[in-house]
Amino acid sequence: MMKAGTVLITMVLAGLGVWLLEDTEAEVPLQESAVMASDNQRKAASEPQPLPLAKQSATEPKTNETLPVVEIPEAMTAQFSMVAQTFEQELHYPPYSQPILSADSPYLTPNRFAEVEMPVLDGKESAVLFLDKYRFFYPEPVPFKVKSSLPILGMRYSLFDIASREEVARGNSDWASGEMQPDESSSTQLRLKVTVRFEGGSDVLTADINYANPVAFVMGAQPAYTQQADWMIPVTIDAKKAGLYRLRANLYREDGTPIAVLTEKQKLSEGQGEIVLKAHQSVLSGKNGVYSLKDLQLERMSGRPGEETQYGVSKVGQIELGELDVDALSDLPYQPSEQERQQLQFLKHLAGEA
């Protein structure tokens, strides 16, 4: 039987998770990696890595609100303390302009397909199903290939709608590669099933992918300008459907170094509109230079329970922003919101530090 203390901690963590995620702009992106498996052996892909932290001191939150008394086992307080330190350091940057401090940041590979080597033929050998990316956009084909320690004699393959289990495309190949072309009406969530004929027997590999019919397009950007501590970058969007959109892009220096992920939400009407990304001075390190935007990701967010997130696509590979004179920016540090301060104090309270 589960102890009462464990139940209490579980409830606290669940409530805390909802609160910390509420109204957050700069979520670490889901590592949108497909899941692949051999026959019935399905394995989840790796989870996203946490955003690296900046080594700065934070402004202490101030609030007169009385926090609830929560009994936390001593072994748990150290974990809450680490979470509080992480959150406190992240508050040195605005949620719309977060630094990229690691080459392994999930922001740099937002549409990655994670290959997983799987056992085949009762575990005697192995095989890997490769795709270029996780999310495809109509009318793109879906190419793939299989690599194995065994010779591959041929393949049969199909794409299925995960929800309805209906087949939307099929094909076969005498080689270790194939390609399928879903139609415009294909469901967003599809499963690729490949029956591979090896020398020594056959086995099945599967992978889940996302196939989206774009609801909006990134067309380019207007000239950037400075406003207090932010470099303002107006990005032009052509929306086929009205709704709340989220745009995320990585800011790069001229030498190819990624320095920040920029995120902004904006309600758009059907037709041409704009989402203004902002690069805060804190991520620019006081350096002048030529900058560009890459790795653009556009989403039409769910407006009600049960409504799926829809996606847009960029018609430009990167957006050249030109040269920035950082002296034109204010050097004022970011001031966390009252909600962010309360969240930090609650974390410190759970850690026994407040």
> Quick one: pLDDT at residue 69?
55
Cα dihedral 22→28→29→33 (10° resolution): -130
> 118-212 — its CATH code?
2.60.40.2550
Cα–Cα distance, 310 to 269 (Å, whole number): 15
Please report which confidence band the pLDDT of residue 208 belongs to, taking 50, 70 and 90 as the band edges: very high
> Quick one: pLDDT at residue 341?
81
Classified as helix, coil or strand, 264 is strand
- Is the pLDDT score of 1 beyond 70? no
Tell me how far the alpha carbon of residue 212 is from its chain's centroid: 16
- Is the pLDDT score of 21 beyond 80? no
> Quick one: pLDDT at residue 92?
81
Ordered DSSP codes for 97-120: EEE---TT-GGG-TT------EEE
> 216-328 — its CATH code?
2.60.40.10
> Quick one: pLDDT at residue 41?
45
Classified as helix, coil or strand, 331 is coil
DSSP at 248: E
In sequence order, what are the beta bridge partners of 249? 262
Looking at the chain, which residues constitute the CATH 2.60.40.10 domain(s)? 216-328
Looking at the chain, which residues constitute the CATH 2.60.40.2550 domain(s)? 118-212
- Is the pLDDT score of 3 beyond 90? no
Contact 101, 285 (CB under 8 A): no
**Residues 243-296: tens digit of each pLDDT:** 999 999 999 999 999 999 999 999 999 999 999 999 999 999 898 999 999 999
The dihedral region occupied by 324, where left means phi > 0, alpha psi between -120 and 50, and beta the remainder, is beta
